[in-house]
Amino acid sequence: MSRPSLVPPFAVITGAQVAEVLTGNEKEVVHLVEDVYRLHGRGDSVNPPSYFLRFPDRPNARIIALPASVGGERPTDGLKWISSFPDNVAAGIPRASAVLILNDPATGYPIACLESSIISASRTAASAALAADRLSRGARPRRIGFIGAGLIGRYIHQYLEATDWTFDELGVHDLSRDHAEAFAGYLTTRPGDAPVVVHESAEELVRASDLVVLATVAPRPYLHDPDWFAHNPLVLNVSLRDLAPEVLLASANILDDVEHCLKADTSPHLAEQLTGGRDFIDGTLYDVLEGRVELPSDRPVVFSPFGLGVLDLAVGRHVHDSLRDTDRLHVVDGFFHELDRYGRAAAPAGAERNPVVK
């Protein structure tokens, strides 16, 4: 009688399947992301530094590896491999593409490869929606402005909308007028009658917004004047490099993870370099969730999330398990071939010989 294989099945999960699981379940994803932030804050995760592959002949492009391990009720190990090629946009295809590998924590064998641009956008948007809710001082802001008119901005709006945010006005600014108008056109198709305004400048948008979403590919700060933020908005610094250190130093600063954010010339990293310290950091989102941070009302509040690989793993595992539990998982039979240490399973009939022991 043959022994059952300890090797788990391997599945390939398409973007269409990912979207099918996540779309319409945004509130569940936000709750999942909150749970993972709590696990991470308690130390029940491993989230090493991200690894950047850069190219001398393509300086604006990069591919990033995010290895991670998350505990809890569904422990999972894995790796996100995500590329950012901004020149894709001019060619009419998305800037970012990604895959996510999930590993079985018992054997280390990969159990799935998932299309992950949707997972990455969803976990980013869920993190932003969670932060916007928990960092709002009093009533939720009702004038929202987006700087950056791409997929991440669209997903953040989707998650805010799905978690019952309503707006009196929506603003958009992008270096490309065409992209700004296209995003504004999308926003006008959504429920509600709030006016959508395309702003000619970043300053104009910031001054007109109580919730500012930064979702660009800016390599260095271009928002330099703290006076633009004198009305003390909540700023979701998702793209991490838009704000000059002077703006952060005039604000309350909440990070997702201090060590991860303070590297790679992010805005918080530049502020650390300028001041020589970290006193400008008020805490992490986990600290906020645990009630350890009191947010001031007389300064802007800036949330800077580096983007933790554990979030991708948790959302990816949720997608995998949802498909598995409904018999929709596309398993690749025979993906792992060498499963015997000495090749006995592949040996032809009659080929076995008794070994000579000396």
Whole-number Å distance between alpha carbons of 314 and 183:
29
Reply yes or no on whether the pLDDT at 179 is more than 90. yes
Arithmetic mean of pLDDT, 121-149: 97
Of 351 and 213, the one with more pLDDT: 213
Reply yes or no on whether the pLDDT at 134 is more than 90. yes
Reply yes or no on whether the pLDDT at 2 is more than 50. no
Whole-number Å distance between alpha carbons of 106 and 75:
10
- Assign a CATH topology to domain 125-307: Rossmann fold (3.40.50)
Residue 4: pLDDT band with limits 50, 70, 90:
low
Of 271 and 356, the one with more pLDDT: 271
Whole-number Å distance between alpha carbons of 281 and 253:
5
Arithmetic mean of pLDDT, 134-157: 96
Reply yes or no on whether the pLDDT at 107 is more than 50. yes
pLDDT for 1 equals 41
The residue ranges of every structural domain in the chain are 11-119+310-346, 125-307
Domain 11-119+310-346 has CATH 3.40.50.720: no
Q: Indicate the helix (H) or strand (E) that contains 145.
A: strand 143-147
Q: What percent of the chain has pLDDT over 90?
A: 85
Strand ranges (E), 256-296: 281-284
Distance of CA 280 to the CA centre of its chain: 24
Reply yes or no on whether the pLDDT at 347 is more than 70. no
pLDDT for 338 equals 83
Whole-number Å distance between alpha carbons of 310 and 37:
9
pLDDT for 337 equals 86
- Render pLDDT for 236-256 as a digit per residue (tens, 0 to 9): 999 999 999 999 999 999 999
Strands 234-236 and 211-214, bridge-based pairing: parallel
Closest by CA to 298, choosing from 233, 244, 247, is 233
Residue 98: pLDDT band with limits 50, 70, 90:
very high
Reply yes or no on whether the pLDDT at 356 is more than 70. no
Arithmetic mean of pLDDT, 19-36: 97
pLDDT for 340 equals 82
Residue identified by tokens 């002077």 is 246
